[in-house]
Amino acid sequence: MDTATSLLNTLVKLPNSSQEAETLLEQIVPRISTGKLSLHEVVEALGTSLTHSNPGDRAAGTRFLADLLHSLPADRLNSQELSFLAAFFIDRLKDHHSVIPSVIYAYIALVKQKNIKREDVISLVRGLFREVHCQSQIMSDRRNIYTFLKYCLVNKLEDVQELGQDFVLGFISAMDGEKDPRNLVLLFTTVPIIVKCFPLGHFTEDMFEVVAAYFPIDFVPPASDPYGISSEDLVLSLRCALSSTPLFAPYCVPLLQEKLDSDVISAKLDALHTLVTCCELYGAEDISPHVLPLWASIRREIVEGVSDEVEEAALSALTAIVMTLQRGIVSQASRDETRELTNSALRECVGHLTAPEQRLMFPSAHLLLALVVAHEATAQAVCEMVVPLLAEQFEAKCEETAKKKTITILGKFLNKGAKFPNLLEENGSIGKYEISCWAAFSRGLSGETSSLQEATVSALTTALPAFKPQTLGLVAHSLTTLLLTKNNDLLRDSIMQTFVALWNIQPLTISDHILPKLLVELEEGYSTNSHVSKSQILETLAILTRGRLLISCVLPVIWGLAENTVCVSADECCLHLSCVIKILKNANEHECQTYILEDWNGIMKVLSLYMSTILTSHVANTVSVLRCLSSVCRILVARLSNPQPLVESFINLATLEGAEEVEGPAGEYVSKYPEIRKLMSNITDESHPCASFMVYLLEGIMMGVHHLSDTDGLQQLLRKLRSLSLFHTEVGLRETSAILHATIINKIPVGSSFTQALEESKEELNKAFDMTHAFERQQAALYTLTWLCKALVVRGAQNQHEWTAKMQKLLGDANLGLEAAHSFDVILKDHEYALRPETFANIRLLYKQRYFEGVVGPLVDMFHQSEGSTKHNSLLALSSLLSSLPYLILNAHIEKLLPVLLQGITCGESALTESTVCTLATILKQSVLHAAPYTSMLIAMLVPLTVNHPLIVRMKALECLEAIASLPTSTVLPYKEDVIRGLRNALNDKKRVTRKVAASARCSWILVGAPGSNSV
């Protein structure tokens, strides 16, 4: 007997086991797909099961056939086979109720077949609506029904549209009474398809009512909901259904009005948000009958101010209503309705605008502003009345508070009205009052108190779009004068925000009116009435200098000042260079970079100033200038389209022997500054003391390059940098050399050059560590080792563990152990610029986590197994790492780390205590239960830290105690009184922020054991 015949014989007596049936199905499906078995043969073999007198057997046979259909390719069955199956399953809907779920499941498989005929789809739908009462089925079967219907609507729409209103009625009947959240989301997303594609006719109200019965949603998902249906999912899908057609308007708007007038905040919000969504689809004729009642309700919500969220939603709804009335071809009725609404709002609100001392001024202003942003017609009417009123009122009022409120609201009306250009015309409702408005602002800027000036500047920032260029020039002049004559940080910050806003609107105003005055002030020194420092002016220039035009005006001037001050004052020169750095960082546009690199010739400018600084100054006193120039160079090189030739030529220049010819871009610089050749080639020669300071220039060039090629000169450069990092007498230069050495190794591609660099580094560092009589050399070697280790860790090098093991071994060194422990902080903590993405470091994803996973075990073991200084150093090293790690990686080792952290709190070293308590606070906030076994010890250690310690320690200790209070009551209740008593002193802390945290922590402990408390 062949396999096919054997399978058919097995089907005659279908297995009872679902697993056996599934195995049988897996054997049959491939044979049907390849034609070795026909569907007709399978159905005949199933005949006994399908026609059995026992409903359970019939259900099993039907289910097997349904599973078979789901397993077949979508194009496997022809139309005749599908017609036969459709007729069979439609007939089966009359069978016993236990059979129906399998039939419904088979429906889904049938309708997904590509060759099913239109008549069969219609028959399936009709049969389902006729024979199955949806709400009598269990939840999963109802979901299958809804899935089948939605599939028909999405993929067989033309077929089922022939059913017309019969489909609508059937869907309403199927949906009516549904309660399952998952099914409701499916239904709500189906409704918009039906109302758009089917004539609702006299079923319009029925369709609306069956949907509106769920409004507003009050579903709260259970904590253990495995399906992830949120209240928001239901709310948004229901809102989409309710707003799906203007035909619902006569029923929907009154419903929303009713919910808006209720006392439930969530219902109000839902109603307002739904109204906004409806207005996007409704026409003027749909919303007109309800405008005035809605206005009354919205006005009440704004005036009463029950909730900021409700107020915001109500204002959005008012704007949406007016936009709907004015959308498309506006009828006279819509105009009249809009005019009546606007006039009503003006009658209600204008009176309150003239009473700044009363509470209703701002709510009334917000109502009118909602009308202003809605449409030009309402904006014209409102601004025509309100703008001159507020401008005159500012002049008339004497009280400072009234003036501040008035000018603030005036700025808002000007800002919103500026949305419509016609209002800004000479005869527009804003344009014709521009002079009087600016007069009010000008009076505010010259006010007697700084608080009025601050309010005026803030309002002016808002109002800028409403002013013409001529007025903006007056604004710029007045604000610049105010900036230079007032010594007020808050006012200065507000003016800076206004300048930035002004730049976005009218850049020429900045270049014509503000920058010249600031540059004159900077070049000529302080005027007699100036109250701003040079650093503040430079900060202002750095913020404002954007775009090629402004950069070309400002950058050469600031650079010239830096050149003029380099020999006079290094600090003052650095001040100017810091401004240059900020300008360069903000110059991201291509045309700006082209100007800086080509027209201004930035790199040559840097080199020129660098060389003049080294050759004409006492170089040791100008290291800060060299560092700033290095930063400038780093930014410029990073902006080059191809920095590789520049970098390679400088590497060759630094490694030249004898009178070799200088090639590449560096040759141009050598021809202009011949001294650079001598300095660069003798960078490690002690007989040329200035030469070693060229390392800062090298740093700027090498940091800005994306990657390094494997060249011969690179190894020579690394040897020179190692020599500088180990033997130079100037600490800052040693450290810079070590960082640059690490940066180069980080960027070298893996290969023989990379291996050679590491081998030579290992050999030289080992020699330095063996120089026991030269402690300073050992310190330098440790710093170089630390940065080399960091370079390897960041790039995820395979041999990084060999180097980190060397650092761990140094923790036991009597001389270097403590410094080695502090060095671990360098490896994971981000540097200001080195080995970072902005300097194009070779960074492996999640390198911090990988490194910590490798060292946490050995460090913890060293802590437990050692004594004395080694134990202390391992604790310090571990604590240094923790502050740079995310919580998730800490949580994986929390049980191992907690005992160590407890030791860190009591070590007596302030830096270690601070680092440890900060890490502990992070851990306890996320998973406090791990701390339960150490509760007694933690409380005894943390309470004393809340007083007489640095601010950060006090704060974090209080946060830890508050987190511990959430442990189970049985764990923390014995310590309740001690903690409450111990926190009394913290309530009198000299810092308000600490007192606030102390009060919160103490309240948490007071509630321990109380009914309804969070403690278990």
DSSP-assigned letters across all residues of 748-764: SPSSHHHHHHHHHHHHH
**What value does the CA radius of gyration of the chain take, rounded to a whole number of Å?**
39
How much of the chain is in helix, strand and coil states, percent to nearest 5?
75, 0, 25
Local structure of 336: helix, strand or coil: helix
Q: How far is CA 816 from the centre of its chain?
A: 43
Mean pLDDT score, 913-942? 84
C-alpha distance across the termini of the chain, in Å: 69
DSSP-assigned letters across all residues of 533-586: -HHHHHHHHHHH--HHHHHHHHHHHHHHHHHHHTTT-HHHHHHHHHHHHHHHHH
More confident residue, 821 or 617: 821
Mean pLDDT score, 987-1013? 85
Distance (Å, whole) CA 640 – CA 593: 9
Ranges 183-197, 212-226, 250-264, 295-309: which has the least confidence:
212-226
Mean pLDDT score, 718-730? 91
Ranges 514-528, 657-671, 978-992: which has the least confidence:
657-671
Residue 760 in tokens: 């030579």
- Residue 201 CB neighbour total at 10 angstroms: 12
Which letter does DSSP use for residue 769 in this model? H
Residue 471 in tokens: 């007025």
Distance (Å, whole) CA 271 – CA 446: 47
Percent of the chain past pLDDT 70, that is, above it, reads 94
Task: Note the pLDDT of residue 1016.
Answer: 43
More confident residue, 773 or 696: 696
Distance (Å, whole) CA 315 – CA 271: 13
Which letter does DSSP use for residue 598 in this model? I
- State the SS3 of 297-325: HHHHHHHHCCCHHHHHHHHHHHHHHHHHH
Handedness of CA 579, 580, 582, 587 (dihedral sign): positive
CA angle 296, 297, 299 (to 5 degrees): 65
Query: CB neighbours of 333 closer than 8 A, spacing ≥ 6?
Result: 284, 285, 288
With bands split at pLDDT 50, 70 and 90, how would you rate the model's confidence at 250?
very high
Q: For residue range 619-634, list pLDDT tens digits in order.
A: 767 889 999 999 999 9
Ranges 180-194, 677-691, 805-819: which has the least confidence:
677-691
Residue with token string 């100017």: 576
- Residue 22 CB neighbour total at 10 angstroms: 12
Distance (Å, whole) CA 170 – CA 185: 18
Residue 953 in tokens: 């320690």
User: Exposed/middle/buried for 994, CB within 10 Å: 0-12, 13-18, 19+?
Assistant: buried
Asked whether the beta carbons of 102 and 61 are under 8 A apart, the reply is no
Q: For residue range 424-462, list pLDDT tens digits in order.
A: 998 889 999 999 999 999 999 988 788 999 999 999 999
Mean pLDDT score, 839-849? 89
User: Exposed/middle/buried for 231, CB within 10 Å: 0-12, 13-18, 19+?
Assistant: middle
Distance (Å, whole) CA 997 – CA 954: 9
Provide the greatest CA pair distance for the chain: 113
Query: CB neighbours of 304 closer than 8 A, spacing ≥ 6?
Result: none
Nearest to 600, CA basis, from 630, 647, 559: 559
Task: Note the pLDDT of residue 528.
Answer: 46
Mean pLDDT score, 663-689? 78
Compute, in degrees rounded to 10, the torsion defined by CA atoms 440, 445, 447, 449: 140
Asked whether the beta carbons of 204 and 243 are under 8 A apart, the reply is no
Half-sphere exposure of 924 (CA within 13 A, CB side): 28
Q: How far is CA 477 from the centre of its chain?
A: 38
User: Exposed/middle/buried for 895, CB within 10 Å: 0-12, 13-18, 19+?
Assistant: exposed
- Residue 590 CB neighbour total at 10 angstroms: 10
- Whether 790 has a pLDDT exceeding 90, the answer reads yes
More confident residue, 329 or 502: 502
DSSP-assigned letters across all residues of 224-264: T-SS---HHHHHHHHHHHHTS-GGGHHHHHHHHHHHHTSS-
Buried b or exposed e, range 416-442, using 16+ CB within 10 angstroms: bbbebeebbeeebbbbbbbeebbebbe
Task: Note the pLDDT of residue 637.
Answer: 92
| Mean pLDDT, the chain, whole residue set | 87
Distance (Å, whole) CA 25 – CA 64: 8
Task: Note the pLDDT of residue 342.
Answer: 92
Bin 963: left if φ > 0, else alpha if -120 < ψ < 50, else beta: alpha
Nearest to 727, CA basis, from 681, 685, 790: 685
Task: Note the pLDDT of residue 1.
Answer: 41
More confident residue, 761 or 920: 761
Ranges 214-228, 265-279, 410-424: which has the least confidence:
214-228
Asked whether the beta carbons of 96 and 117 are under 8 A apart, the reply is no
Mean pLDDT score, 838-862? 88
- Whether 47 has a pLDDT exceeding 80, the answer reads no
Task: Note the pLDDT of residue 567.
Answer: 84
Residue 202 in tokens: 């006299």
Distance (Å, whole) CA 302 – CA 362: 10
Task: Note the pLDDT of residue 340.
Answer: 92
Between the CA of residue 924 and those of 195, 884, 897, 938, 1005, what are the distances in Å? 54, 17, 12, 11, 16
Distance (Å, whole) CA 769 – CA 778: 5
Q: For residue range 515-542, list pLDDT tens digits in order.
A: 888 888 887 764 445 567 888 889 989 9
pTM of the predicted protein model: 0.75
Nearest to 104, CA basis, from 62, 68, 73: 62
Residue with token string 């590491």: 758
Task: Note the pLDDT of residue 722.
Answer: 93
CA angle 389, 394, 396 (to 5 degrees): 90
Residue type, 798: Q
- Whether 988 has a pLDDT exceeding 70, the answer reads yes
With bands split at pLDDT 50, 70 and 90, how would you rate the model's confidence at 562?
very high
- Whether 45 has a pLDDT exceeding 80, the answer reads no
- Whether 735 has a pLDDT exceeding 90, the answer reads yes
Residue with token string 């775009």: 547
**Alpha helix locations (H) across 112-263?**
118-131, 139-155, 157-160, 165-175, 181-197, 204-212, 231-242, 249-260
Residue type, 629: L
Residue 363 in tokens: 């709510």
- Whether 9 has a pLDDT exceeding 70, the answer reads no
Nearest to 739, CA basis, from 776, 779, 791, 816: 791
- Whether 1013 has a pLDDT exceeding 80, the answer reads no
Percent of the chain past pLDDT 90, that is, above it, reads 40
Task: Note the pLDDT of residue 224.
Answer: 62
Local structure of 326: helix, strand or coil: coil
- Whether 1003 has a pLDDT exceeding 70, the answer reads yes
With bands split at pLDDT 50, 70 and 90, how would you rate the model's confidence at 48?
low
Distance (Å, whole) CA 618 – CA 626: 12
Buried b or exposed e, range 781-795, using 16+ CB within 10 angstroms: bbbbbbbbbbbbbbb
- Whether 16 has a pLDDT exceeding 70, the answer reads no
Task: Note the pLDDT of residue 126.
Answer: 92
With bands split at pLDDT 50, 70 and 90, how would you rate the model's confidence at 271?
very high
